[in-house]
Structure 1
Amino acid sequence: MKRSIGQFCLLLSLVYTLKAQPTQAVLTSQQLATTWADMTVRIMTKAPKNTPTYGSRAIGYLGLCMYETVVYSSKRHKSVIRLLSDTLSLPKPVSGQTYYWELALNAGQAYLLKALYAYTEKTGPIDSLEMAIHQTYAAQLDPSIVDRSEQFGKAIAKKIYQWSISDGGHEGYLRNFPADYVRPAGTGVWVPPLVGQSNTKIPMHPTWGQNRTFAPRNSRLPLPKPLVYSTDTSSQYYQQYKEVFDRKKSLSPTDQAIVMWWGDDPTETCSPPGHSYNLATIAIRNSNVDLVKACETYARVGMAVADAFICCWKTKFTYMVERPSSFIHTTISPDKNKKPWLPFFLEPPFPSFYSGHAVQSAATATVLTELYGDAFSFTDNTHTNRAPYTYYSEEMILVKSASAQQPYYYPSLTTHTLPYEVRHYRSFWEAALECANSRLMGGIHTRHDNEVGLSEGKKIGQNINALRWH
């Protein structure tokens, strides 16, 4: 993430500028929030054992913490913590005392981000950013205000972190693929891919769906139903898997670029939750919003995405629906003499129904549309600094030779390169729909997976919006 690193370096250079010119404002309140979001995405990208499940949980708590550290600076906004847990209470500012909310946010984000990613042993950039911001503002304020503000932010972060320990996902990176998990067997049941994002035969975080949601209503959503398994060529099940099989044959370079843009492989990127968190940053930067609305944006997006993954994983591991590749291998194209069919995008290590990309993108679109409108045009720059994606395709070339008794075929490999170029959207929902469709084009989800994911994500986002924010 060169963009994030560049902004971090810019912040440090501005600190030195401030020392020379003490009265000069360095960061706006909005920029302070987005700078911490950039740092979060950077840490997620570089974290070992990165998973979309653990990443979604992280941005849920970080967004909530950001909001709760500044909410009392606004007469219009309200704390939402008691709507999430009626037994949890957070510190409140002392009446009549002065607080500098930017420093509260700074201290809170630094504490919580380090707590969530201490296992990486690469939290030095977090300390550096916290100190840079502290020095930026502390030089202009009464030391007692600085201390009071930072202690308040840390106190909020500590309480939220303590609450997080009991949610079922604490230290989830220690059990990405639990060795004691017994994979069920049966017709139409998920099996590990022949070639995928992981070599493990164990699915990722099979108990994640048992975790506590942020919005209690999201834990009570009924489970949607998968399609009924059938090998009948006229059945909806067969036709949907056949659509995936056929769609790969007609992928254009534009289709492939869309697949890779939304791929968000957690072994190489900030994963889908980080992508959504960056969309929140883009919305904030493109709008003239104050500090509290910026933090509200991160809180809504973070908690919506976190709940989306919990609800999605509950469904995935209730039904254990197979991926398109396994049905194609056994039913649509079972010829053992042919090279096995593989999706264009590497298959992730967990069941198919329903799409995690679709549900979290729809949840994100729902909350961002509520905050910024349904005709918000923007440019997604999440992957602009990634190296081009190179892949190879194989085709059989017919050779006719005078020396040979009959024509023969030999394999030929063609190299393809796909650059990561910014993508433009007229609304958040346009982006969500493209993200969902990319999974069908990538060969790893059916249309039903995507449509249900989009529908469930909208419900999840609406439940986050329904919290009494104002």
Structure 2
Amino acid sequence: MKYLILFAVIVMMNGACRHKGDYQPVFDNPGLYSKSVYELNSVVMDNNFSPVVAARNYVYANIAAYECIAAGDYRFVSLVGQIKHMPVMPKPAEPAKVNYHLAALLSLIKVGNAVTFPEGALMDYWQNLYDKADSAGMPADVLKQTVAFSDTIVSAILKWSKGDNYAQTRSAEKYTVTVEDGRWVPTPPAYAQAMEPHWCEIRPMSLDSASQFAPPAPPVFNVKSPTSHFYKDVMEVKTVGDSLTDEQRHIADFFDDNPFNLHVTGHAMYATKKFSPPGHWMNIVGIATQKAGKDFSTTVAAYAATSIALFDGFIACWYTKYKTNGVRPETVINKYFDPNWRPYIQTPPFPTYVSGHSVISNASAEVMTYFLGDHFAFTDTSESEFGIANRSFRSFRDAAQEASFSRLYGGIHYRSDLEQGNEVGKKVGAYVVSKLHFQRNQNQLSQNK
């Protein structure tokens, strides 16, 4: 009997020891970070955040997570001193007792919770992560120090975020709609007012100014001369829209990314939601890093860099949109060519030049090419939950080009919007990865050994 009791005690002690160490692989899991970004993405979608505001939600949350990683993984460099207005980030009180992966997860969620609504929308998930650490056997002192460090990062990031002019633009002067030829006016079915006309006043992360990569002026408005650039652009939109192939419809649907698609039937109205363009690219980051087998830290870095490209891309794009105030194809075609013509997808409520999807897709593609290389083939499953078949791409740049041309197939952009938007996006993305260094080079790593 004594031997049985002794054996049971040994088994229990061995089990307890194994349990105490189980928490390490639980959080050394890049898929868990992608799942956590998806949780934030879902809150953003469910609450109708516009694409530009969504990009702001992602950037502060992912930078908070990245700064936790940079504090604990020497391979990665803090963005402090690289983003010129970013303040010094706090250090952990007891570095050896911090689980930096869990700190990154908690920081992502807590910042994401603070910059979205409704209040507390993500805190159940935060608690779930906390409970996961506790049940996996993370020692109480490690859990305590991890939460404390995360909270200091969250506080610093949120304080920094308040200086980006976002609050001031909430009460800025509204856009004035005029009916002069060539100028943007609200479009059906919602006839919504111009979205975020002051977004170019938001403080960028890497760019020196919103106008840094401003494109040439758009084609001059001219619907009288069939040989004019503008006339040809309009006719292409109409012609393509009148004879869409099944493949073109699929591309348009796949990259529609309308966070609030309004349906009107008689007096009845209802809306359907999908991930916005930046949300779509957040999903692509997760899909690609998982396929590439990237570790936790590299996955967080890829999300952070892409979110910066999205954020700065929208600022650059919105500068041009509201400087040029270009009229949408739907308005021109209805007024001058066919009053009954409608685009395949819904026209969003802001000026046409340049295409936002073109800018941010190409900016994201440049960043992801930096992390995973060109010719990185992947299948994008982002839209399957909305009943839209997957699409496969040979590279991130290939995906960006298809996303761009989806706007022509959808009938909401001219070719000039796409071509110049692509160029702006490429420049923004290349600038992000040239100015901001996320990973130390081999010489720096060797010196640390």
TM range (shorter): 0.7 to 0.9
Residues 322 and 351 of structure 1 are in contact (CA less than 8 Å); yes or no, is this contact kept in structure 2? yes
Q: In structure 1, give the amino acid aligned to 2:283.
A: N
Which position in structure 1 is the counterpart of 2:437? Answer: 468
Residues 209 and 314 of structure 1 are in contact (CA less than 8 Å); yes or no, is this contact kept in structure 2? yes
Secondary structure of the residue aligned to 2:238 is helix
Of the three residues 129, 132, 135, the one matched with 1:133 is: 129
| Cα distance in 1 between the residues matched to 2:407 and 2:386 | 20
| Cα distance in 1 between the residues matched to 2:86 and 2:70 | 20
Which position in structure 2 is the counterpart of 1:103? Answer: 102
Which position in structure 2 is the counterpart of 1:14? Answer: none
Secondary structure of the residue aligned to 2:379 is strand
Which position in structure 2 is the counterpart of 1:366? Answer: 366
Matched, 1:181 2:175: yes
Which position in structure 1 is the counterpart of 2:300? Answer: 295
1:456, distance to aligned residue in structure 2 (A): 0.5
Q: In structure 1, give the amino acid aligned to 2:180.
A: G
Change in 2 beyond 3 A, CA 1:82/1:291: same
| Cα distance in 1 between the residues matched to 2:155 and 2:49 | 23
Residues 93 and 149 of structure 2 are in contact (CA less than 8 Å); yes or no, is this contact kept in structure 1? no
Which position in structure 2 is the counterpart of 1:262? Answer: 255
| Cα distance in 2 between the residues matched to 1:183 and 1:141 | 58
Which position in structure 2 is the counterpart of 1:214? Answer: 205
Which position in structure 2 is the counterpart of 1:250? Answer: 243
1:352, distance to aligned residue in structure 2 (A): 0.2
**TM-superposition CA deviations, 1:142-177 (whole Å, max 9, x none):** 3222111111112112211111112122497x67xx
| Cα distance in 1 between the residues matched to 2:213 and 2:394 | 32
Secondary structure of the residue aligned to 2:392 is strand
Secondary structure of the residue aligned to 1:351 is coil
Secondary structure of the residue aligned to 1:182 is coil
Q: In structure 2, give the amino acid aligned to 1:205.
A: E
**TM-superposition CA deviations, 1:64-84 (whole Å, max 9, x none):** 111111112222211013221
| Cα distance in 2 between the residues matched to 1:291 and 1:323 | 43
Q: Name stretches of at least 5 consecutive residues in structure 2 with no aligned partner.
A: 1-15, 261-272, 441-449
1:199, distance to aligned residue in structure 2 (A): 3.3
Q: Name stretches of at least 5 consecutive residues in structure 1 with no aligned partner.
A: 1-17, 388-419
1:191, distance to aligned residue in structure 2 (A): 1.2
**TM-superposition CA deviations, 1:16-61 (whole Å, max 9, x none):** xx9x9665444533123112111111111111x4210110111111
| Cα distance in 2 between the residues matched to 1:325 and 1:440 | 12
Question: RMSD across aligned C-alpha pairs, in angstroms?
Answer: 2.3
Matched, 1:427 2:395: yes
| Cα distance in 2 between the residues matched to 1:255 and 1:383 | 16
| Cα distance in 2 between the residues matched to 1:160 and 1:66 | 10
Change in 2 beyond 3 A, CA 1:107/1:96: closer
1:127, distance to aligned residue in structure 2 (A): 2.2
Matched, 1:153 2:167: no
Of the three residues 300, 308, 333, the one matched with 1:328 is: 333
Matched, 1:229 2:227: no
Equivalent residue runs for 1:61-460 within 5 Å: 61-86=60-85, 88-94=87-93, 97-117=96-116, 119-121=117-119, 123=121, 126-139=122-135, 140-170=137-167, 180-193=174-187, 195-196=188-189, 198-200=190-192, 202-217=193-208, 219-224=210-215, 225-231=217-223, 232-267=225-260, 268-331=273-336, 333=337, 339-387=339-387, 420-460=388-428
Residues 323 and 445 of structure 1 are in contact (CA less than 8 Å); yes or no, is this contact kept in structure 2? yes
Normalised TM-score (structure 1): 0.81
| Cα distance in 2 between the residues matched to 1:325 and 1:66 | 42
Pairs aligned (count): 406
| Cα distance in 2 between the residues matched to 1:170 and 1:96 | 35
Residues 97 and 141 of structure 2 are in contact (CA less than 8 Å); yes or no, is this contact kept in structure 1? no
Residues 248 and 443 of structure 1 are in contact (CA less than 8 Å); yes or no, is this contact kept in structure 2? yes
1:185, distance to aligned residue in structure 2 (A): 4.1
Residues 84 and 214 of structure 1 are in contact (CA less than 8 Å); yes or no, is this contact kept in structure 2? yes
| Cα distance in 1 between the residues matched to 2:319 and 2:164 | 14
